[in-house]
Structure 1
Amino acid sequence: MFSIHDTPHALCDGISRREVLRIGGLSTFGLTLPGLLQAKEQSSLVTDDPMFGRAKNVIYVWLQGGPPQHETFDPKPHAPLEIRGPFQPIQTRIPGENFCELLPRTARIAHKLAIVRSLATDNNIHSSSAYEVLTGYPYRGPNARTITPTDWPYFGSLVKKLKPSERLPALSTVWLPDIMRLNENVTPAGQTGGFLGRQWDPDRFKGDPNDPNFEIEGMNLTGIEPLRLNQRISLLKQFEQRFDTIERDRAADVYDTFQGQALDLLTSARVREAFRIQNEPDKVRDRYGRTKWGQCLLLARRMVEVGVRLVHVNWTREPGDSAVDNPMWDTHAQNADRVEDVLCPMFDVGFTALIDDLDQRGLLDETLVVAIGEFGRTPKINRSGGRDHWGPVFSFAMAGAGISEGQVYGASDKTGGYPARDRVSGGDVTATIFHLLGIDHTTRFKDTEGREHSLTGGQPIYGLMGNEPALKKPAIPGGNIARVPMYSTDLLLDKDLAGEMPLMPVTTGSRPKGWRAAPLPEGKPESAFAVRHIVSDDAHHVALGFGGETAVTIPADATALLAQEMRNPRAGSFQMTVRACVTAANEQAYQELFANHFRCRMVMFRFADGDKNPTKRQELGTLEFQPPFSPSGAPRYGSFELTHRLDSPAPGANFSIGRGLAIAVLLEKTSPGELNVPAGTPPVSLCIDHIDLRFDSRVINGDVQV
């Protein structure tokens, strides 16, 4: 289901806007409220800049959480390792300019972009730094983590008021796919109409366009007879009478003028068709990435095609993304793993698909695209492998209408910590958007009390604008697209232990992801107590065990281990499944050499140090299991499951991803003293042919956090 999503305000007498919108199934565009639309206020000033008004529409890509400049548009290859991180720079199409190797597709379209590396808010708080970027003004209120009626209007609300769509005035500013949330129910200021009034809030639609069955509640009129539709409208008008008496005194000139347009919009085949993303060819949908975020970008393209003036696409939360210490782009822990496994693959695929798609359809010349977050990340990597909040300097990208493409504007210093030249403010960004849309940035407008306000305190970034590309001769881009495959939800790689990648020592860390094992048999007799990958034409498994032509002495505290770091762990419940058996020459050998001396355990754990060695771990959940005996050569596997909830023990606190989470299967010697295994003993092994890890996101206030 895809439906309107309300800001957390209540209406009169305890009746919520959501409750009213649900009446009669007409829940989409706020038909019960006056002030849905208003004729634009004209600026008293006229500009002769040819770039003024070049953009007919805007797609605003909001990278919530704060992308790290070092791992995106501003790598620092000559800085120390604790600043530059583990990734390499790659050449873009702009000569002499590099991106991080995790953006190989974006490097290939850099000639269509303008990159700014000197944006600064000097504010390290999500809510207030985002407020400045989204409104163009620093926050002056008591609590930026809460929406209030006195907030400065979101710049999209001012676009809705001053420059509504000519083709679709009832739907000028759209926000996808959810309201901005910092954590659970924290909805920060700067994303509403503020002191202009709620009629200037963006029209928010909540849902997942990647869902094959999604539809827009109240928009699907298929099968509804005209009489039934008229009955719904009549019922709706009865509820409007209550709001009529309250709102008319304050906004009498708004209500009647635009109520009819809103109803027309509801019955508009063109608008309904724009939301039918299922009609897009599979090839196009695949190009954007079959993720909620990728499909929201595709939906944004469809919205501007039908005439929406501004589409704001929030970076979407993943299942379990609330109450962890690296949600969205907020990578306080495991920054390198998050950007490599999730964030950059999603962005690199979806953003480049949007730019290329707009270009191929002839829409890029009239559409301004902005990709930006509320701040950047600290130059220095912290003890959890993360980067913390950093407002003194960060990067963003622009493309499309009025942008002189193929350039880098401004620069940060040698560590990516502060602007080195051409500092840009949040007000400058909003002023640039207004200018390109044809709204004079010196415009003054009135609030509901008749008081005048300046549109923005910033200045357009004229150095970014132009009719001609800044780039004369593109460079040959570097990087490897295969290095950054499309995002996968798989928590583990090579779950069938098919040998897609070799077993690696536990001392190698977790990059690249894959199976780590100890002890490995390299340089040791084949009979040694070790972990081996057994691959044949008709079978494959991993064996933890011993036995063979030479004698083996196994110490009292011996442990064999097979482990893998989770990809993108979140807060919630995990189900680890292992298919295993124990092979030996016969049941007597199984009992005397295995059952009497060893136990098998499944473990979920947090790494205890930054080296990510699974032998140094903080165990979070464990299960001892007893695999069935199976004669050698004919394994008969049993299945075992460990279910464990990973969540913060303190209400309201973030669950710590820390230095990374992992799973392991352990074969541990529990009998006292050494175990002497004679030469010629047939192999005795714990054999594993499949390990899986499933995830269910945590539930907050009855709602699954996605």
Structure 2
Amino acid sequence: MAEDRCVHTDCEGFYRRDFLKAGALGLFGLSLTDLFRLKAHGATTFQEKETATSVILVWLGGGPSHLDMWDLKPDAPEEIRGLFKPISTNVTGIQMSEHLPRLAQQTDKLCIIRSMTSPEAAHERGTHYMMTGYQPLPGFAVPGYGAVVSKLKEQRSALPPYIAVPAPVAYGGGGFLGASLAPFSPGGNPASKNFKVRDLEPPKEVSFERVERRRSLRQAVDAAFKKYEAGNPAAEAVDSFYTSAYDLMSSTDARAAFDLGNEPDKTRDAYQRNTFGQSCLLARRLVEAGVNFVTVSNGGWDNHNNIFSSLPGKLNDFDRTMATLIEDLSDRGLLETTLVLAMGEFGRTPVINRNGGRDHHSRVFSIMLAGGGVQGGQVIGASDPLGMEPAETPVRPEDLSATLYRCLGIDYNQHLESPDGVRIVLSRGGKPIRGVLA
């Protein structure tokens, strides 16, 4: 309610706020309704031809090793090439790790960028850069991609337009756009038998009939205070926020999107019955139901020690789930309109350290894209023979942000303005990555 106190500076707003806080709105709080404030901001009038309507961003927190996944160096010295062998894929001339055999058979749908580059080799700064397209700015909170998309793209269903499973990714929030554009998180492990999304059901002691009565009470309060709030855009916006929250709770289709129990056992098994697998399955259900932007967090890639014993299991899980997600989206006709990204904050050092691991390395690393208008079956850019620097077509996070926005039909050269009047361009100096879009 702290934000609410700042918004309502007149006595009429104060009384109405306190009355509602004590009565009809006490059930809900602001955790869900704040997500709908984006409607008050409107949408951009620019419309470039979009190739994607939804994004699934799979965040590999910690910094996955490009040299052991997408960009192996079998001819490099032993202290660099490591123990993993490259295998052929279903696209002639493209190889990847032996621990990604299923994705190797989906390579015709993948675009692998082997020349990402960034000066940020610390986790927090690197994550900020990759999740916003901006290097960290002291004292200035840049909004994450999902928040920008929520602000500028039309909401397509009763579901929140930006959802994070199983938990939000750092620096993917609303930034100066406000907490109302931060992602909604279901709160819980989708792989749990007792998985239940918070805020979609009233407390056990409150029936939906009582919810409707409280809604009617609120409408009566609204009517009583209308004459005091005429022309007050903040007060009028609050009405729409709560209406959207009620609509979500009462929408059978929206609530059903979170119910993984509606999926066949065969499908759930194919994704794997673990947190990452069921989170990706939930992401597919959410974009299918009209969500604009979904992040799936999958940490554990900070392999400073014993990388060749710890990474195979991690890669096998990633391979099985991601290949299933790509295939499932394709079979359902969703891949054409869903941009899938798999990336972390940086890569790992070419030289294996004394602990048998690889350390942080941002000068060159790899990411994967698929769907949403992306041309599959290709590699863009290259690292040098040691995987140390870009050898051709260096790609910066700004270029990635321009590509993402371009896929969604958003003008990446337009500006956003902070409450303090600071204007930033969506992609500062970035250009869509040449060759990515079909």
Q: TM-score, normalised by structure 1?
A: 0.55
- Whether contact under 8 Å (1:157, 1:173) holds in the other structure is yes
1:456 aligned partner: 427
**Post-superposition shift, 1:107?**
0.7
Please tell me whether residue 179 in structure 1 is matched to residue 168 in structure 2: yes
Aligned: 1:38 with 2:22: no
Aligned match for 2:122, one of 117, 122, 125: 125
Question: C-alpha distance in 2, partners of 1:349/1:73?
Answer: 15
Superposition pairs of residues 163-178 of structure 1, within 5 angstroms: 163-168=153-158, 171-178=160-167
Taking the aligned partners of 1:279 and 1:386, their CA distance within structure 2 comes to 42
Paired letter, 2:377: G
- Percent of paired sites with the same residue: 38
Pair 1:386-2:333 in alignment: no
1:193 aligns with 2:190: no
Q: Partners of 2:62 and 2:242 in 1: how far apart?
A: 37
Q: Any unmatched runs of 5+ in structure 1? A: 1-8, 14-18, 143-149, 181-187, 317-327, 467-706
> 1:88-237 counterparts in 2 under 5 A?
88-141=85-138, 150-168=140-158, 171-180=160-169, 188=170, 190-220=171-201, 225-230=207-212, 233=215
C-alpha distance after superposition, 1:465-509 (max 9, x if no partner)? 11xxxxxxxxxxxxxxxxxxxxxxxxxxxxxxxxxxxxxxxxxxx
Distance 2:173 2:34 in 1: 18
Q: Distance in 2 between matches of 1:32 and 1:311?
A: 18
> Which residue identity does 2:261 align to in structure 1?
Q
Greater mean alpha carbon deviation, residues 414-423 or residues 258-267: 258-267
Q: CA deviation at 1:140?
A: 2.1
Query: CA-to-partner distance for each residue in 1:74-100, whole Å, 9 max, x for gaps?
Result: 001011111111111101122112101
> Is residue 275 from structure 1 mapped to residue 246 from structure 2 by the alignment?
no
* Cα displacement (A) at 1:433: 0.8
Q: Residues of 2 paired with 1:378 and 1:10: CA distance?
A: 45
Identify, as 1 or 2, the structure richer in strand: 1
The separation in 1 between residues aligned to 2:404 and 2:433, in whole angstroms, is: 9
The residue aligned with 1:349 is: 320
Q: Which has the higher contact order (CA 8 A, sep 6+)?
A: 2
The answer as to whether partners of 1:431 and 1:459 remain within 8 angstroms in 2 is yes
SS of equivalent to 2:336? coil
Out of 282, 294, 297, the position equivalent to 2:280 is: 297
Where do residues 489-528 of structure 1 align in structure 2 (5 Å cutoff)? none
> What is the SS of the residue equivalent to 2:66?
coil
Task: State the match for 1:338 in structure 2.
Answer: 310
1:27–1:217: 8 Å Cα contact kept in structure 2? no
| 351-360 vs 35-44, greater mean Cα deviation | 35-44
Distance 1:411 1:227 in 2: 61
The alpha-carbon deviation at position 252 of structure 1 amounts to: 4.4
CA deviation string 1:237-267 (max 9, x = no partner): 99x9xxxx9xx98944632233312211121
Cα contact 1:30–1:36 (8 A) shared by 2: no
The DSSP-based 3-state class of the residue aligned with 1:117 is: strand
Q: Are residues 290 and 431 of structure 1, via their aligned partners in 2, closer, same or farther at CA, if it must alter by over 3 Å? A: same
Change (3 A) 1:257 1:265: same
Task: Decide which of 344, 365, 369 is 2:340's aligned counterpart.
Answer: 369
- Distance in 2 separating the partners of 1:304 and 1:369: 11
Change (3 A) 1:258 1:155: same
CA distance in 1, matches of 2:255, 2:184: 15
Q: 2: CA distance between counterparts of 1:179 and 1:302?
A: 18
How many Å apart are 1:164 and its aligned residue?
2.9
Distance 2:197 2:119 in 1: 40
Match of 2:78 among 68, 78, 81: 81
* Letter paired with 1:153: P
**1:56 counterpart (43, 53, 56):** 53
1:565-593 Cα shifts (integer Å, max 9, x gaps): xxxxxxxxxxxxxxxxxxxxxxxxxxxxx
Unpaired segments ≥5 residues, structure 2: 6-20, 223-227
Residues 117, 394 of structure 1: 8 Å contact kept: yes
Could you say what secondary structure the match of 2:185 adopts? strand
* 1:602-656 alpha-carbon deviations (Å, 9 max, x no partner): xxxxxxxxxxxxxxxxxxxxxxxxxxxxxxxxxxxxxxxxxxxxxxxxxxxxxxx
Out of 399, 402, 427, the position equivalent to 1:428 is 399
Give runs of aligned pairs for residues 319-334 of structure 1, distance below 5 A: 328-334=300-306
Which of 1 and 2 has greater Rg?
A: 1
User: CA 1:432 to 1:399, structure 2 compared with 1: closer, same or farther past 3 Å?
Assistant: same
User: How far is the alpha carbon of 1:197 from its aligned partner?
Assistant: 1.5
* Whole-Å separation in 1 of the counterparts to 2:420 and 2:234: 11
Distance 1:265 1:86, change over 3 A: same
Q: Aligned equivalents of 2:122 and 2:34: distance in 1?
A: 36
1:333 and 1:236 map into 2 onto residues whose CA distance is 58
Q: Which letter does structure 2 place at the counterpart of 1:435? A: R
CA–CA distance in 2 between the matches of 1:235 and 1:382?
65
Q: What is the alpha-carbon distance in structure 1 between the residues aligned to residue 396 and residue 3 of structure 2?
A: 35
Please show how residues 568-587 of structure 1 align to structure 2 within 5 Å. Answer: none
Q: How many Å apart are 1:35 and its aligned residue?
A: 2.0
RMSD (CA atoms): 3.0
Over 3 Å counting, the alpha-carbon distance change for 1:84 and 1:308 in structure 2 is same
- Aligned residue pairs: how many? 414
1:77–1:32 CA distance, 2 compared to 1 (3 A): closer
Q: What displacement does 1:206 show?
A: 2.3
Change (3 A) 1:78 1:24: same
Tell me the secondary structure at the aligned position of residue 70 of structure 1: helix
CA-CA distance at 1:461 after TM superposition: 1.1
Deviation (angstroms), 1:356: 0.3
Say if 1:416 and 1:308 are closer, same or farther in 2 by CA, change over 3 A.
Answer: same
